[in-house]
A and B are shown apart, each in its own frame.
Chain A
Amino acid sequence: MTDIPMRGGSAGASGDAPFDAVATFERHRAELKASKRVWNLLALGAFTIALGLSIWISQFYPERLAEGVPRIFEYFGTIMPDLQWDRLFEGRDAQGNAVPGSIIFWYTDFWTYVELLWETILMAITASLLGTAVAFVLSFPAAANLAPNGWVYWFSRRFLEFCRGVPEILLALVFVFAIGIGPLAGVLAIAIHTAGALGKLFAEVNENASDRPVEGITAVGGSWTEKMLYGVVPQVMPNFFSYAMLRFEINVRASSIIGFVGAGGIGAELNRVISFYSDDRVLAVLILVILMVTIIDLISEDIRHRFIGKENF
C-alpha cells in the first residue's frame, strides 16, 4: 500500500519537506512491534520452559497417556449398569430379591443414597447459614470505607483470607480428626470456607455502597453499629442475598464430596463405591448427585430471580 503517495495535512501547499503520515505511522508501528516482539519472545520462552518442566515433573509422556487413555474408556465400561429391556421395570420376586437387569437391582441401596443426599443438603444449608452470618458480621470491619480503624480492618481482612485460603477438604480433615467422623466436621469446614469467600465479596459490596445514608445516620448521632444497620445494610441486602444463594449452590457441591475424608454426606458413599467396587453403583450414585445438584441449582436460581425481582419492584 505504501506505493500510493499520501500526504498528511496541507501537503504541497508550502515548499517544506512533505509530512509523510504513512511513513511515520509505519515507523512507529515497527518500533512498537519490535519492542513487543522482545516481550513476546521472552513470554514464549518462559511458557516453553514451564511447559517442559511441567511435562517432565508430572511424567505426562505420550506413551503413558497412550497406555492410560484406553483404560479410562474401559473404566467407563465397567461402571455401566447391566440393564435389560425386558426386565427393566420388574419388581422383586417372591423371596424379596431383585431381578438382575432391572432398575431395582441397579438401585438396591436407593433409600440409603436418598438419606445421604438429604444429609448432604442439610449440611449445605446449615454451613451456608453459619458462614453467611460470620461473613455478614465481618464484612463491615473488612470494608475499607466502613472499618472503624486500621487495626480492625487489617485483622478482619487477614482472618477472611485465612478462612478462604485453606481448602475445605483440608479443614474437614482436621475437624474429622479433632471431633470425629460425621457431618459436623463437614459443616464446620464448609462454614469456615464460606465465611472467608463470602466475607470478601460482601466487603466489596459494602465498599461500593453509597455513603450518603451513612452520613445521614452520623448526622443524627448514630453509633457505628447503627450506621451499619440503618445506613449500609438496606443498600447491600439484595446483593448479599444473591451472593449467599450462589454460595449455597457451591456448598451443595462441596458437601457432596467432603465425605471423602469422612466428614458426612454422600461423599463417603461415593468414595466407598469408587474405591472398593467400581461397578454400576458408581454410576448410580453419580447420577443421583448430579440430579440433586441440578435441582438445587434450579430452585436456587428461581428464588434468586424472585427475590431480586421483588426488590427492584
Chain B
Amino acid sequence: MRMASIDTVDDGQIAAVRATHPGAFRTGRDGLRKWAPWVIAIAYVIGSLIYFDVHLLFQASERALRLLRAMVVWEDMANWQYANIYKGIAQTLAMAFLGTLLGTIGSLFVGFLAAKNVMPIRVVRQMVRRFLDILRGIDQLVWGLVFVRAVGLGPLAGVLAIFISDLGTLSKLYSEAIENIDRKQVEGVRATGAGPFAVIRYGYLPQVLPVFISQSLYFWESNTRSATILGIVGAGGIGMILIERFRAQLYDQVFFVVLNVLVIIFAIDWLSKRIRLWAIGEKSH
C-alpha cells in the first residue's frame, strides 16, 4: 500500500492550498503569538532570579549539608523533651479546634447578616461584608502577631487569630451558601405563618447545614495546618517549640517535630473525611 506522504506533495499544490485556505497555515504573527508568552515568562523568571541573587543557592553547601545531615543523623535522642513536643502538638490541635468552633458559631450569625435574601437592609449587609473583607484581607499570621501583642504569648492569641480569620472567610462562604438555597422551602415555611426565626430554623438551616458542616470541617483541617505555624510568631502550639529548637540549632529535633506534625495533619485529614461522610454522606442517599 502506498502511503500518502509529505514527499509526494509538491510546492505548487501547497501554494494552491495556501491560496484557497489561508487560515490553515501558520503565519509569522501566529508563531509570535504562540511563543511570545513563553519567552517573556522564561526571561522574566531568569531575570528575577538573578535580581533575587540566585547565586546564593549555589554557595550554601556547608549550611545546607548540616541541615541534610540532621535529617538522617539524630543525636542525643534521650534528652529531646518529648513531653514538651507532644504538649505543643496537643496545644496546636486544641487551638485549631477551639478557633474553628468559635469561628463557626460566629459565622452562623454573621453569615445570615451578610446574605442578600435574609438581610434585606442594604446598608447593614454592605457594612458587614466590608468588615468581613477586612478580616479576610489580613493574614492569619498577622492576626496572630497582633493578638500576641494584645493578650501575650501563648495559645489564647492563636485561638483568637484563628477565630478572627475564620470569621472572615467562613461567614462569606456561609452567606453564599444561604444565597444559593431553594426558595420554595422557605416560602412553604413562611406560608404556615412562621416568624423570622422559625423561617431560618426550618426553611434555611436544613438546606444549608450540610454545606456549613462540610466547610467547617475543611477549615478545621486547614486550621490544624496553619496552627502549626502560628507559634512562629509566638501564638502558642507546636510552632513555638519548632522555632525555639530551630534557633538553638537542634535541627534533628526540628526534623522530628516536622515529621510528627505531618503525621498529625494526615491523621486529621483522614478523621475529617470520616466525619464528613458520617455527618453528610448518609443523608445524600
Contact = CB atoms under 8 A, between A and B. Distances in A.
Interface stretch (B21-29, B117-125, B133-141, B172-180): B133-141
Contacts of B265: 165
Contacts of B233: 260, 271
Interface size class of B (residues with CB under 8 A): 35 or more
B98 A55 contact: yes
Q: Could you say which of B94, B133, B242 has the most chain A C-beta atoms within 10 Å of its C-beta?
A: B94
Interface string A165-182: 111011001100111101
B231 to A, nearest CB: 10
B160 A72 contact: yes
Interface in B231-285: 232-233, 236, 242-243, 246, 258, 262, 265-266, 278
Interface residues of A, number: 59
Interface string A58-92: 11100011011101101100000000000000000
B45 A129 contact: yes
Contacts of B85: none
B68 to A, nearest CB: 9
Nearest to B47: A126
B52 A184 contact: yes
Contact of A173 (B63, B98, B246): B246
A53 interface: yes
Contact of A270 (B57, B87, B142, B242): B142
Interface string B223-235: 0011011001100
Contact of A183 (B52, B146, B147): B52
Interface string A213-257: 000000000000000000000000000000000000000010011
A179 B56 contact: yes
A65 B142 contact: no
B167 interface: no
Given A54-B98, A125-B44, A184-B57, A257 B142 contact: yes
B137 A274 contact: no
A55 B138 CA distance: 26
A177 B67 contact: yes
A284 B53 CA distance: 29
A290 interface: yes
Interface stretch (B12-20, B74-82, B149-157, B193-201): B149-157
Interface in B53-107: 53-54, 56-57, 59-60, 63-64, 67, 87, 90-91, 93-95, 97-98, 101
Chain A at the B interface: SS class = helix
B48 interface: yes
Given A173-B232, A183-B52, 14 more contacts: A51-B98, A58-B159, A59-B155, A122-B51, A125-B44, A130-B45, A165-B265, A167-B225, A170-B228, A170-B229, A179-B64, A184-B56, A261-B232, A264-B52
Interface of A: 39, 43, 50-51, 53-55, 57-60, 64-65, 67-69, 71-72, 74-75, 122-123, 125-126, 129-130, 165-167, 169-170, 173-174, 177-180, 182-184, 187-188, 253, 256-257, 260-261, 264, 270-271, 274-275, 278, 282, 286, 289-290, 293-294
24 contacts: A54-B95, A54-B97, A57-B91, A58-B155, A58-B158, A58-B159, A69-B151, A126-B48, A165-B262, A166-B258, A167-B229, A169-B141, A173-B246, A177-B67, A178-B60, A178-B63, A184-B56, A184-B57, A257-B139, A260-B232, A261-B232, A270-B142, A274-B145, A274-B146
Interface of B: 41, 44-45, 48-49, 51-54, 56-57, 59-60, 63-64, 67, 87, 90-91, 93-95, 97-98, 101, 133-134, 137-139, 141-142, 145-147, 149-152, 154-156, 158-160, 225-226, 228-229, 232-233, 236, 242-243, 246, 258, 262, 265-266, 278
